[in-house]
Amino acid sequence: MPNVKHDDTHDAKTNDTFDAQNNEDVNGVPGAKAAPAAASGEKPDAASNGNSNVASNDNSNANHNAKTNAKPERDCVLCGCCLELCPLFAATNREELSPRAKALLSGPSKFTAATLDDDAVAELASLCLACGKCEKLCPQGVSVPRLVARLRAEHPDFRQWLWKQWVTKLQPCWSLAAKGAGLIPEALTPANLGLALKGLRGLRPDNGLRPWLTVTRFPVEEFRQQYGERPVVLFDGCVGSGPRKAWGQAARFLLRGLGANLAEAGFSCCGSTLGVAGLPEDQLTARRANVEAWRKADRPLLVTYCATCRKGLADYAAPGAGAGIFANSDEEALWAASVTPLSGLLSGAAGKVGRGVPTVVGWHRPCHAVLPGDPGDADCKLMSSLLGARLRTPAKANCCGFGGIMQLSAPELSTQVGQACWNGLDGALGFTAAPEVVSAYVLTGCSGCVMQLTATAPAGHGQHAQVGHWLEIVKTD
């Protein structure tokens, strides 16, 4: 596709069209409904003790609120609101990569677009990071990631097959693959696999951060009042159950510190990247398997420490998630109220920083860190309370550029967005200007972000960039 530059005059015209055709308040938000009680004949919502407070937690209720507060989706009117946050457009200034271009060409639309042949549609479908930033700004409620996922499903190719095998068949081998990736010389790495292999190298077990934060106080009483003896299971995700098992170990240590009634469940991939890749049937299979595992564990509190996994799990209860996932609407509402970020449970914790730690620590906010209904980024809030002024966050939360299957379909664009993200982190940390004083040390709360930031880390600033999940700095001994 040709490079098309952004035209502000066109924005003005389409905004006029938008105002003329939409007199109603498209930003109106219906009131949220309370989660219904557990299905008759089943155990109470607390999955054990009838704890009526379970659904009142802001973080665990966010998914149900997201569903009831969702804006009705209508046609794209080319208003251009989405351009403000689209990381692909910001990094390239190419209009054909913008969300409104995809919405226009993939339909439905009030405007007539030239007919695309199958190859052009397939090319367009592959150039989306599925970060969801555009959807948050769209006054029409258009979900471009859903449109793109549908197009990918309609135009399958070898990259989708490869991604499916990697996620559904080869996930148990990720630890071995992470070790092996470091043995492959870059000169012999296929161009379309280079970025993915760099990310894998960063997940080697010996490549994690050194723990240096001791939790000195756990909010035990707050947790007990909120959840009582309700069973708690941890959703580790593909990375946490594979090459980064240390994340799960640290998370379980923290849950034990809270006095949680820990249980285990046989979860698989959350299915998020499968849906983005245009593999809806495989995504639905993963969703059904995870709900069944949750069911067998007596419908416990479902805790996760990856922002993308949490978004993927929350979407199980979203409109159009797929048939047959839940037994009834009560079970669906209970699932939505059960998906909870680990960091939200630790609000009020206190900690102590050891010696020889970075003077400045950067924080990268994942695109899915804040879901509709959330009071804020729970991970960032926890790290801010524990690290104080040591933690620095860029003024603008930039997408890392991971994009799932984009790692295979357009690694050069994914890399370009990743480099722009690092520029923002550099602006907050200043490691390029003063490498002898400040290191490129960055924490985040998403497994995909860890991979991508590791793969696109800048070179030549005098120090080796260090990237990791915030759980890596927690001391467990």
Across 10-14, average pLDDT: 37
The answer to whether residue 133 scores a pLDDT higher than 50 is yes
The answer to whether residue 386 scores a pLDDT higher than 90 is yes
Across 426-435, average pLDDT: 88
How would residue 184 be classed by pLDDT, with cut points 50, 70 and 90?
A: low
118 with 255, same domain? no
364 with 409, same domain? yes
285 with 371, same domain? no
The answer to whether residue 187 scores a pLDDT higher than 60 is no
The dihedral of CA 397, 286, 119, 110: what is its sign?
negative
How would residue 330 be classed by pLDDT, with cut points 50, 70 and 90?
A: very high
pLDDT of residue 103: 85
Question: What are phi and psi for residue 410, nearest 5 degrees?
Answer: -150, 65
Adjacent-strand bridge partners of 59? none
pLDDT of residue 202: 66
Tokens representing 285 are 């299979």
Of the residues 154, 171, 201, which one is the last residue of a structural domain?
154
What is the count of structural domains for the chain? 3
Pick the most confident of 10-14, 182-186, 282-286. 282-286
User: 33 near 337, Cβ under 8 Å?
Assistant: no
The answer to whether residue 24 scores a pLDDT higher than 60 is no
Half-sphere exposure of 100 (CA within 13 A, CB side): 26
337 with 389, same domain? no
For residue 412, the enclosing domain spans 350-473
The answer to whether residue 161 scores a pLDDT higher than 50 is yes
Average pLDDT, the chain: 80
How would residue 123 be classed by pLDDT, with cut points 50, 70 and 90?
A: confident
319 with 394, same domain? no
More confident residue, 391 or 168: 391
376 with 447, same domain? yes
282 with 379, same domain? no
From the list 282, 294, 203, 287, the residue with the least C-alpha distance to 242 is 203
Is position 168 within any domain?
Answer: no
How would residue 192 be classed by pLDDT, with cut points 50, 70 and 90?
A: low
How would residue 200 be classed by pLDDT, with cut points 50, 70 and 90?
A: low
The answer to whether residue 150 scores a pLDDT higher than 60 is yes
Across 215-241, average pLDDT: 95
Total Cβ atoms within 10 A of residue 214: 15
Spatial distance between the Cα atoms of 369 and 378, rounded to a whole number of angstroms: 8
Across 83-111, average pLDDT: 83
321 with 372, same domain? no
280 with 144, same domain? no
Of the residues 345, 380, 411, which one is the last residue of a structural domain?
345
How would residue 193 be classed by pLDDT, with cut points 50, 70 and 90?
A: low
How would residue 248 be classed by pLDDT, with cut points 50, 70 and 90?
A: very high
225 with 320, same domain? yes
From the list 419, 383, 415, the residue with the least C-alpha distance to 402 is 415
Mind listing the pLDDT tens digit for each residue in 30-45?
333 333 333 333 333 3
The answer to whether residue 206 scores a pLDDT higher than 60 is yes
Across 369-397, average pLDDT: 92
pLDDT of residue 96: 87
pLDDT of residue 199: 66
CATH assignment of the domain containing 290? 1.20.1050
Question: What are phi and psi for residue 75, nearest 5 degrees?
Answer: -70, 150
pLDDT of residue 382: 97
From the list 306, 362, 307, the residue with the least C-alpha distance to 132 is 307
Is position 294 within any domain?
Answer: yes
pTM for this entry: 0.81
More confident residue, 177 or 371: 371
How would residue 285 be classed by pLDDT, with cut points 50, 70 and 90?
A: very high
Across 415-427, average pLDDT: 94
Across 52-81, average pLDDT: 55
More confident residue, 236 or 117: 236
Across 174-203, average pLDDT: 61
